[in-house]
Structure formats: C-alpha cells, structure tokens
Amino acid sequence: MSERLIITRPHYFTDTKSNCGYCSGQKERNEDYYCLDSWYAASTGSNIENCTMGFQAELMSVEIYGRLCDMGYRRSGKFLYKVDMVRNCCRLYTIRTTPDQVSITKEFKSTLKRFRKQIKPSGDGKRHDGGPFNYIREVLETETSAKDFKTCFEPAVFTDEKYTLFAKYQEHVHNDFKHNAKSFKRFLCDSPFSKETILGTKEEWDQLNNWKVMAPGEKLKRQGPAHECYYYKDELIAIAVTDFLPSGISSVYFIWDPEYHRWSLGKLSALRELCITSKTNLDFYYMGYYIDDCPKMNYKAKYGGELLDVCTQRYVPLVRLNELKSPGKLFTVEEHPAKAEGELPLNKALAHPVGRLDGAERLENTVEKIYGPNGGAYQDAIDSAKALSRIGIPYAVDERPFGMAESKHKDDETYVIPNVVPGLVPLKEILEMVLHGDINSLQNNVTFFDMYEGNIRQLQSFSNESPEIKRTLCDVIRLIGLENTKGVLLLL
C-alpha cells in the first residue's frame, strides 16, 4: 500500500530579490534578472522578485518525493518548493548526474590526493595499483585503510553534537548568526516521511554503512533521509544531509568544520556521494539546483550531468544545452522541427517516470514561441481562465503575464498562482480534465481536513464543491499532476 500524501494547499510567495539566496539582488545588469531578453525589452520597469511556490507536506512517501524531485521540487524540512521560472530573479534547474559522467579534472585529482595525505599520513601518499586514475577506486582504497577517518550513516535526527557543528559552519562560512537549535532541526532533521521511514531498520543501516562491499546489482534497502557523519580522530567534522530516493541519492545540504577548510570537504563529499551512488547500484546523483549565472551554484556543471526541462518533463544533457540556451535564461526544448506554439501538455508526462533526451535528435529551443512576450502560452491561458470561470471555477484573467503577482488570497495574504507558470500543468489541460470528466477520478479519492472546523470528509462530487474548493483542487493538480493528487489528504 502506498503511503498517504498529506499536504496543505499550494502557496505562492514573493519576496524582494535582495533576499534571494543566490543573487541577493546583486546582478550587474538589470536584464540578467529576466527569464528572457525579449521580456526585458518588452518590460515597462516591472519589478523582478523572488517568486516561489510550494506546499507543506505532513506525510509523503519516498516514491512520491522522488517523482516530485523529477518535477523540479526540492524540500527544506517538510516544505516542498520550486521557483516560478518566468518571474523569479534566477533560473533554478534541477541537476543530476551519473558516476560515469564525471570527468576527473586536475582539481578533483588534487582534492583526492590531499584527502589521502590527510588521512593516511603514514603512507607515502602514492597509489600502488597502477593503471589509469579512477576516482571511485581512489576513494575506496584511501578510506578502507585509513585509521583516523570514518563516516557513518544514521537517521536524520537531532543531536547537540550535530547542532554545534552546524552553528560553527553557519557562523564562519555563511556569516549567519540567526540560527538556533529549532531552526536547525526544522531545516535539516525534519522531513515529510513517516517515522518508520525516518528511523529505518538495523538491516537497512548496516547494509548502507557497508556500501563499499555491496555486490554489483545488489539492491539498496535504505530509502529515505540520512545524515552521513564524517569523523576524524573521533571528532565530528562534517555532516552530509541526503535523501535516498528510488532513482538515486539526493544531496540536501553539507555542513563542515571550517577548521578543516583545507580538505575541500564540499568537493570531496560530492565525489564520495558519486562513489556511493555507484557502489549502491543507484542510477543518479541529484545535486539540487543549478544556476548558470551564480558562482555558488554553477560549479555543479563540473560533475557533468543533465538539467530538467520542467516544461516537457525531460532531462537534457548540459553539453547539448550549451548551444541551445543563453546563460541564466529559461529554456524548453523539443525535437526539431518543433510543433509547439502554446504550452505543452504536461499532465500525462507527470504520471510517468521522467524522460531523458540522450539520443542524437536535432533539438530546438522553443521558449520564445511559448513563453516569450508574444508566446502562445498567454492567450491560451486567457481563453482557459475565462472558460473555467464560466463553469464555476474562479480563475481570473491574468493581465500580468510577467512581473510580480498582484492578487492575493483573501484569508492569508499569500498570492494567487499566476495562470502561466512553466512546469505547472497548463490551465488548458485543467479545463479539458473538467470538461471530459477526468477530474472525477478524484471522487472518493481525495480527503479534506478543515483545520479550523476540525472536520474531515471525502470528495464526493467535484461539481458539487464550492468554487474555492474547486480552484484549490485544480491548483493542486497544476502543481503535482492528476495522478499524484489521487489519495491526497488536503489540509484546508
């Protein structure tokens, strides 16, 4: 039985770009904030902000979380979010790679060499196996014989020792003095997974902690969050916060002791996690978000890999994107010759495993045709919003295809989700779902829990619901697709 998905209704937030964790509103040129140069040219001084949408997940299975990661979501504790790629000041792309896509540069080699020297000072620092340099073998060999260095995977739970390291890291590396034990717990210990998933079984942790000797093809039992604690001479010097997903390892955060900055622990942890991906027979290593024009985030391209095209629900290799997209801008690619003028249907794709473009197709970046100032997406959305409104689902015509969202929900001051957002199920498809009755598959399949009234009930008939509930349900489908909405318990 799949676990129940318990979520709040979707929210859309904006904040000033000076609070963006990536650009801090400090880009050199104003046009660099815009998703496309054509939007910059067409803009009348609209204010680019930090625009995020998401929901709080009280309970979620690892399988569903894995699917949401492949839709561009990330989690911060229990909060799942992604940015609005049209209106946000930065383009955040989900990036993943595989162990064999990493080309070992001089930089990586010297990181590994330095690591070997630090933890095996008695040795001569040289490899003895001969043959070409292989980073996986290098890590395995170095760690297997090291006496003073070890790591241990354990449940992502709070300890004072972990918090002390976190505090030191935040203060010295990020100049952040506003942290406290509660915020650490919320950010890096809490997750939407069940208690059983979080704690895991002894068998799972034993197998994971013996990842170096797993047999080729052996299935990894652990799925869910983990803290990998790094110890040097029995002192905690780093923690890798990771999620083990069915399709791979997702890196959530990495904390290290500033006194060990010479070890390049950040780089080392990525190389180690790629080794673990390989040895545990998983496919992908998810590195979080990649941002072209952000030095803090664009180093990830060094590990090879592919970016998620949220509009088509396919990964595209970075090497192919180089000639198709401009740095920092929005893209969506189709096989050439492309058909799309308006937004591409997305709902069906969301019900299937994410795709990959790894063949030799000729590709075309269709972003202007769809999301440019004269793109087809906006007229489609206007027509669909009008039609939805006529059948009692209150979507207002969005006169601001671009720029900050202006309309707010009455009750909680959060913004209404704009009608065109790349990577959300287009309104046109929502309309078809309602008109063709596909939405009725949610009957007796969605539960509402009214937190103010304290009552719980099942969705009986979509057409008998209030306009607000209809809109809320449609927004949930826009964010996660119809298939993933089945079985949801929605907190209202």
Least distance in angstroms from the C-beta of 35 to Zn ion: 12
Rounded to the nearest angstrom, the gap between the alpha carbon of residue 429 and the centroid of all alpha carbons in its chain is 24
Name which of 23 and 62 has its Cβ closer to Zn ion. Answer: 23
Nearer to Zn ion by Cβ, of 20 and 268: the residue is 20
Residue nearest to Zn ion (CB): 20
Write down the least CB distance from residue 372 to Zn ion, Å. Answer: 21
- 32/70 with CB nearer Zn ion: 32
Backbone torsions φ then ψ of 488, nearest 5 degrees:
-70, 140
Nearest 10 degrees: Cα torsion 483, 484, 489, 492? -100
How many angstroms separate the Cα of 331 from the Cα of each of 3, 4, 36, 303, 324? Answer: 35, 34, 9, 21, 8
Burial 345-382 (b: 16+ CB within 10 A, else e): ebbebbeeebeebeeeeebbbbbbbbbbeebbbbebbb
Complex with Zn ion: residue 52 or 269, whichever CB lies closer? 52
- How many residues in the shown chain lie near Zn ion by CB under 5 A? 5
Tell the smallest beta-carbon distance from residue 91 to Zn ion (Å): 9
Tell me how far, at minimum, the Cβ of 43 lies from Zn ion, in Å.
16
**Interaction with Zn ion in 268-307: which residues (CB under 5 A)?**
none
Check if the beta carbon of residue 457 is closer than 8 Å to that of residue 416: no
Query: How far apart are the C-alpha atoms of 441 and 431, rounded to whole Å?
Result: 15
In the bound state with Zn ion, the residue whose beta carbon lies nearer, of 21 and 125, is 21
Q: How many CA atoms lie within 13 A of 367 on its CB side?
A: 22
Site for Zn ion in 8-37 (CB under 5 A): 20, 22-23
Binding mask 103-122 for Zn ion (x = CB under 5 A): --------------------
Place of tokens 């904040």: 15
Contact 169, 258 (CB under 8 A): yes
Please say which residue, 89 or 382, places its beta carbon nearer to Zn ion.
89
- Cβ 424 to Zn ion shortest distance, Å: 20
Q: How far is the CB of 96 from Zn ion (least distance, A)?
A: 22
CB of 244 to Zn ion, least distance (A): 30
Please, which of residues 81-100 interact with Zn ion by CB under 5 A?
A: 89-90
End-to-end CA, the chain: 25
Distance CA 6, CA 18 (A): 33
- Shorter beta-carbon distance to Zn ion: residue 76 or 101: 76
The residue (of 23 and 226) whose beta carbon lies closer to Zn ion is 23
Q: Please state whether beta strands 333-335 and 149-154 pair in parallel, antiparallel, or not at all (unpaired).
A: unpaired
Here the tokens at position 348 are 């069906």
Residue among 80, 43, 74 at smallest CA distance from 59? 80
Nearest distance in Å: CB 327, Zn ion = 14
Binding residues vs Zn ion (CB under 5 A): 20, 22-23, 89-90
